[in-house]
Amino acid sequence: MHFHRQRHGQRILSSEITSREVYDSRRDWLKGAGALGLVGLGLNGEARAQTAGPGKLPKLPGARSSVAGATVMEKLTAYKDVTSYNNFYEFGTDKGAPAENAHTLKPRPWSVVIEGECAKPGRYGLDDLLKVAAMEERVYRLRCVEGWSMVIPWVGYSLGELLKKAEPTGKAKYVEFTTLADKAQMPGVRSNVLDWPYVEGLRIDEAMHPLTLMAFGLYGEVLPNQNGAPLRLVVPWKYGFKSAKSIVKIRFVEKQPTSSWTKAAQQEYGFYSNVNPQVDHPRWSQATERRIGEDGLFAKRRQTLMFNGYEAQVGQLYAGMDLKKNF
Ligand code: MTE
């Protein structure tokens, strides 16, 4: 982690320093959100998110979700950890690199193309995407394949709500997600650690499952750039890399898409990537995990749960499948 200078004796993360350009793009965000009535909705204790970020970004509150399993009753990972310990290779491979470098990402204007096997393909601007369904707050565990996890209050709606609008045809067996790869905004794209753009895929029933979240915010505010602004997937029962950030294209396809991680190392990252403590990564065990924020010298690792604890909700999707073969 890199620090810039001292202020009132406090160290300041470089990500906290707001450039003029970023300030302006946030004001644009605010204008857009304001037009949607998302700002200043008041703090109606029951209906509104119980959690709030530090107030650096425009507010994006969500009503408490009624989707089964959507609210994990565990201690939330601190906002500063959620936003400073990231994987977003487009901004570098160090955990601190996205927080440091992602200020160059411009989350507005933004649009997402929806195409492929569907009756109503189209391009959606961010303001339209924000209006597809009511915003909900969902507290999900997110476990990275590297063996660490967080508990994050996301804001968004079920991806299925958006997919339905495009009217997928009977040939739409899978959904492929492509994320932004712009050298001008993303310094990491100049390196060849991955075959850009970042691509991920889900089976159509996984994509339509109500737990699969199209996230636009966390901690009651719009997504910080390093967490995948302006919109990213969160698929809580799969390893974190399935949760593609800064999505620009959604394509319905007949054949199973090849994800960037599978391309990079087929024997390490299968298509399904369901969290499964019984299937080790070829280079390490997946039986336990480190909860970010609990990493004191004597902190105990946690047992990793089957499907990351979402087995009751999603186990049926994989009935009859050999999950050791389909890892
Ligand atoms: N999306 C893009 N576009 N690029 C990435 O490098 N990393 C993935 C996923 N989505 C990644 C991405 C991985 S490995 C993880 S663990 C999660 O994002 C991390 O999300 P977080 O930084 O918000 O916790």
Q: Please identify, by atom number, the ligand 1 atom nearest to the C-alpha of residue 152.
A: 24
Indicate which residue's Cα is closest to atom 13 of ligand 1. 241
Q: Is residue 42 part of a domain?
A: no
132, 161 contact by CB (below 8 A): yes
Looking up residue 122, the CATH number of its domain turns out to be 3.90.420.10
Structure tokens at 109: 């204007």
- Reference 317, options 241, 256, 237, 255; nearest CA is 237
Count of positions (residues) in the chain: 327
Residue 37 in any domain: the answer is: no
Instruction: Tell me how far the alpha carbon of residue 177 is from its chain's centroid.
Output: 12
Domain annotation covers residue 30: no
Looking from the CA of 172 toward its CB, the CA atoms found within 13 Å total: 25
The one-digit pLDDT tens for each residue of the chain (327 residues) are 333 333 343 444 444 344 434 444 544 554 555 444 444 343 343 444 457 788 889 999 999 999 999 999 999 999 999 999 999 999 999 999 999 999 999 999 999 999 999 999 999 999 999 999 999 999 999 999 999 999 999 999 999 999 999 999 999 999 999 999 999 999 999 999 999 999 999 999 999 999 999 999 999 999 999 999 999 999 999 999 999 999 999 999 999 999 999 999 999 999 999 999 999 999 999 999 999 999 787 889 999 999 999 999 999 999 999 999 999
Alpha-carbon gap, residue 225 to 217, rounded angstroms:
10
31 occurs within a structural domain: no
User: What is the total count of domains within the chain?
Assistant: 1
Q: Which residue is closest in CA terms to ligand 1's atom 9? A: 241
pTM of the predicted protein model? 0.86
Domain that holds residue 84: 59-318
pLDDT digits (tens, 9 = 90+) for 147-206: 999 999 999 999 999 999 999 999 999 999 999 999 999 999 999 999 999 999 999 999
Ligand 1 contacts (CB < 6 A) are 86-90, 142, 144, 179, 198, 227-228, 240-241, 243-246
Residue 13 falls inside a structural domain: no
DSSP annotation of 318 reads G
Hey, whose CA ends up nearest to atom 24 of ligand 1?
86
- Residue 78 resides in a domain: yes
Q: What is the DSSP letter of 240?
A: G
28 within domain boundaries: no
Q: Is residue 6 part of a domain?
A: no
User: Is there a contact between 115 and 251 (Cβ–Cβ < 8 Å)?
Assistant: yes
Q: Quick one: tokens of 83?
A: 């936003």
Pick from 82, 129, 132, 103: which is nearest to 26 by CA? 103
C-alpha of 315 from chain center: 21
114-164 pLDDT tens trace: 999 999 999 999 999 999 999 999 999 999 999 999 999 999 999 999 999
